[in-house]
Amino acid sequence: MKLLLITNLYPPQELGGYGRSMADFAWGLRELGHTVKVICSNASYLDPQNNSTNDSIQRNLLLKGSFKDGVTHISNLLERRRIDEHNNQVLKFTLENENWDGVLIGNIDLIEHEILKTLTITNLPVIHHIGFITPPFDSIYVPSEKNYKIVSASKAVRESLVAAGFARNDSNVIYPGARVELFGESVTGRKLPNPPDGSSSRPLCIAFAGLLMETKGLHVLAEAIVKLHYKGISSRTLIAGGTFQKGYQQDLEYFLDQHNLKDSVTFTGRLDRSQLARFFRLSHVFVFPSIFPEAFGIVQAEAMASGLTLISSGVGGSKELVEHGVNGLLFNNQDSDDLCDKLHTLSMQPDLIKKFGEKGEQFAREKFSTMTSAKKLENLFRE
Q: What's residue 17's pLDDT? A: 67
Q: What's residue 169's pLDDT? A: 87
Q: Give me the mean pLDDT over the 26-53 stretch.
A: 87
Using pLDDT thresholds of 50, 70 and 90, give the confidence band for residue 155.
very high
Residue 35 three-state SS? strand
pLDDT (tens digit per residue) in 356-365: 999 999 999 9
The more confidently predicted of residues 173 and 243 is 173
The amino acid that residue 303 corresponds to is A
- In percent, the amount of the chain with pLDDT more than 70 equals 98
For the cut 70, the answer to whether the pLDDT of residue 52 exceeds it is no
C-alpha–C-alpha distance, residues 46 and 12, integer Å: 8
Q: Give me the mean pLDDT over the 4-24 stretch.
A: 87
Q: Give me the mean pLDDT over the 40-62 stretch.
A: 83
Contact between 378 and 192 under an 8 Å Cβ cutoff? The reply is: no
C-alpha–C-alpha distance, residues 322 and 341, integer Å: 18
C-alpha–C-alpha distance, residues 330 and 338, integer Å: 9
Q: Give me the mean pLDDT over the 102-128 stretch.
A: 95
How does the average pLDDT of the chain come out, rounded? Answer: 93
pLDDT (tens digit per residue) in 287-316: 999 999 999 989 999 999 999 999 999 999
Q: Which of 183, 197, 179 is CA-nearest to residue 307?
A: 183
Contact between 39 and 8 under an 8 Å Cβ cutoff? The reply is: no
Reduced DSSP (H G I as helix, E B as strand, rest coil) percent helix, strand, coil of the chain, to 5: 40, 20, 40
Q: What's residue 51's pLDDT? A: 64
Using pLDDT thresholds of 50, 70 and 90, give the confidence band for residue 55.
confident
Domains contained in the chain, CATH given: 2-177+369-382 (3.40.50.2000), 181-367 (3.40.50.2000)
Distances (CA, A) of 368 to 178, 297, 344, 373: 6, 11, 29, 8
Using pLDDT thresholds of 50, 70 and 90, give the confidence band for residue 68.
confident
pLDDT (tens digit per residue) in 84-94: 999 999 999 99
Q: What's residue 307's pLDDT? A: 96
C-alpha–C-alpha distance, residues 292 and 161, integer Å: 16
Q: What's residue 243's pLDDT? A: 84
Sheet holding 35-41, edge to edge: 57-61, 35-41, 2-6, 102-105, 126-130, 148-152, 172-173
Report phi then psi at 172, rounded to 5.
-75, 150
The gap from C-alpha 9 to its chain's centroid, in whole angstroms, comes to: 13
Judging by beta carbons within 10 Å of its beta carbon (0-12, 13-18, 19+), is residue 168 exposed, middle or buried?
exposed
The gap from C-alpha 186 to its chain's centroid, in whole angstroms, comes to: 24
Q: What's residue 170's pLDDT? A: 87
Using pLDDT thresholds of 50, 70 and 90, give the confidence band for residue 100.
very high
Q: Which of 91, 93, 159 is CA-nearest to residue 316?
A: 159
The more confidently predicted of residues 108 and 168 is 108
For the cut 90, the answer to whether the pLDDT of residue 168 exceeds it is no
Q: What's residue 46's pLDDT? A: 83
Using pLDDT thresholds of 50, 70 and 90, give the confidence band for residue 50.
low
- Three-point CA angle 69, 70, 71, nearest 5°: 130
Q: What's residue 14's pLDDT? A: 82
β-pair partners for 330? 312
Q: Give me the mean pLDDT over the 327-350 stretch.
A: 96
C-alpha–C-alpha distance, residues 238 and 217, integer Å: 15
Contact between 149 and 123 under an 8 Å Cβ cutoff? The reply is: no
